[in-house]
Every structure is written in C-alpha cells, then in structure tokens.
C-alpha cells in the first residue's frame, strides 16, 4: 500500500452555524448541524490529510483525529480561518455563516419594556470572499471551495458566488429539497468550477458527497498545476 493520497497536505474545513449574541441568554443562529463539514473532515483525515476543523455551533461531536477549533460568532470564525491560511493547501467552507449580527450586544438580559422591540443588525464580513481576496493579493494560496445554500435559481446564484467570492469550486445545495441541506443525513449537490465545470450528484450520504468532492478537488488541483 502506497502513501495516503493527501499525506502531507493541510486541509482547513469550516462546519456548523455561527452564533451571534443579542444578550447573555439570547442569540441568532441557523439550522446547520455541522454534519456536512464533519463528513468532509473525516474523508480528508482518512486520505491522510492534516485536518483543521473550525466549528461554529454544531449538533454532533466532531470527528477524532482532526484539530478542532471552536468558535461562535462570524467575527471569531473569520479570525480563526484567516490566521491559519498561510501553509494551508485546501480550504473548504461548509459552515453556515450569519450574514448579519446584532449591532450591539447587551451586557444584561434585555427587559420587556415595550410592545415593539427593534433589533438592529449590521453586515458580517464575508469570510469566503476575504479568503479569495487574501489569495489574490498574494498571487497564490490554498485551493478554495465554497458552499452555496440556495432555495431558488440554484445554478445562477452558485455561479455568481463562485465569481464574486473568487473560489475555485462552489458546491451548491438546494436547501429547500427533501434529503438535502441543513440537518439532513444526505445531500444533493451540484459542484461548479472555473471554465464551465459542472457535476451534479444525486442524493447520497454526506460522507459520499465528501468523497466525491475530494476527488473533484484532486482532479482540479492536478489540472491547474499542469496548465
Ligand atoms: O451543517 P449541515 O446541517 O450538515 O448542513 C450543511 C449546509 C447546508 C450548512 C452546507 O451544505 C452549506 O450549504 N453550507 C453553506 C451555508 C451558507 O452559509 O451558504 P451561503 O450561500 O450563505 O454562503 C456561501 C459561502 O460563503 C459558504 O461557503 C459560506 O461558508 C460562506 N460565507 C457566507 C457568509 C459569510 N459572512 N461568510 C462566509 O464565509
């Protein structure tokens, strides 16, 4: 048996949902369980990669044999991801990052004082886009895979995110479909890449999606190093 295919490769994966605090007992989050990111982490680990898993809020226990970094908010997740980019070979961003956070966090539990309470939200940084920009500014860096969670016009939105967020591949899931997306054991995805690459995967376990995705990443990296 030869060396494992990802031996010596550093792979950074994000998983789970971010948690945006309103006050000490309340927060905004989403339905991400972390399963998709965990499945990719396991698959990369089993191929011999040195895996770092940056997690937001997750339901299940992260896999063993990987370096787990716990975060909560998008701002913390951004710091953990950006500080690890140097020396990373592949970044795969399966986390569901909140696009907005409360403009301020109350130190004390917010009291019921009126019938109407307005929560002001501000835009979070786009971590995936910052990774793409970091790479562009340096003239090189990790191979970057983003996810796209959509409910309508999946291909159109995914291709827009591929270009805007400067990734090498984007994995689109229609999260309104049964058996796909948030919390499910299975997923149904389409993977889009530069130069018109498109592959549609039927419903399969998240682990099977992860295995096929790592094959696509391997082939795309091989192709870009041969050009
Ligand atoms: O965790 P599971 O329950 O298994 O569910 C899996 C999943 C549905 C969460 C996963 O398959 C998925 O689609 N993850 C991406 C969810 C998401 O945030 O999609 P988006 O279309 O809003 O974002 C596109 C990409 O930009 C994602 O790679 C996301 O990590 C990234 N992003 C988004 C916003 C932001 N502020 N920073 C980011 O980095």
User: 5-39 pLDDT, tens per residue?
Assistant: 999 999 999 999 999 999 999 999 999 999 999 99
CATH number of 10-105+119-226: 3.40.50.10300
Distance CA 78, CA 34 (A): 17
Distance CA 61, CA 78 (A): 22
Q: How much is the ipTM here?
A: 0.98
Mean pLDDT over the full length of the chain: 96
Ligand 1 pocket check: which of 77, 96, 173 to mutate, most ligand atoms within 8 Å of Cβ? Answer: 96
Atom of ligand 1 nearest to the CA of 124: 36
pLDDT-above-90 percentage for the chain: 93
Q: Is residue 156 a known part of a binding site?
A: no
Q: Residue ranges per domain, the chain? A: 10-105+119-226
User: Does any ligand 1 atom lie closer than 6 A to the CB of residue 20?
Assistant: no
User: Does any ligand 1 atom lie closer than 6 A to the CB of residue 182?
Assistant: yes
Nearest CA to ligand 1 atom 31: 128
**Ligand 1 geometric centre to CA of 185 (Å):** 16
Query: What backbone torsions phi and psi does residue 201 show, to the nearest 5 degrees?
Result: -105, 130
User: Does any ligand 1 atom lie closer than 6 A to the CB of residue 69?
Assistant: no
The mean per-residue pLDDT over the stretch 211-223 comes to: 95
Query: What backbone torsions phi and psi does residue 24 show, to the nearest 5 degrees?
Result: -60, -20
pLDDT for the residue 227: 57
């Amino acid at each position: 048996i030869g060396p494992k295919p990802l031996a010596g490769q550093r792979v950074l994966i994000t998983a789970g949902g971010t948690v945006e605090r309103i006050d000490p007992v309340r927060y905004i989050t989403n339905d991400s369980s972390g399963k998709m990111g965990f499945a990719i982490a396991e698959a990369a680990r089993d191929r011999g990669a040195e895996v770092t898993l940056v997690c937001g809020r997750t339901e299940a226990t992260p896999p063993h044999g990987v370096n787990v970094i716990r975060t909560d908010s998008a701002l913390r997740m951004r710091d953990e991801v950006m500080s690890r980019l140097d020396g990373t070979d592949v970044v795969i961003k399966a986390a569901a990052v909140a696009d907005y956070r409360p403009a301020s966090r109350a130190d004390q539990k917010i009291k019921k004082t009126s019938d109407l309470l307005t929560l002001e939200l501000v835009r979070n940084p786009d971590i995936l886009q910052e990774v793409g920009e970091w790479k562009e500014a340096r003239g090189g860096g990790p191979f970057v895979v983003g996810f796209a969670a959509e409910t309508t016009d999946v291909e159109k939105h995914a291709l827009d995110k591929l270009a805007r967020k400067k990734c090498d591949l984007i994995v689109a899931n229609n999260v309104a479909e049964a058996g796909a997306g948030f919390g499910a054991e299975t997923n149904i995805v389409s993977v889009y890449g530069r130069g018109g690459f498109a592959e549609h995967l039927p419903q399969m376990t998240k682990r099977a999606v992860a295995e096929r995705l790592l094959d696509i990443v391997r082939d795309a990296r091989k192709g870009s190093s041969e050009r």
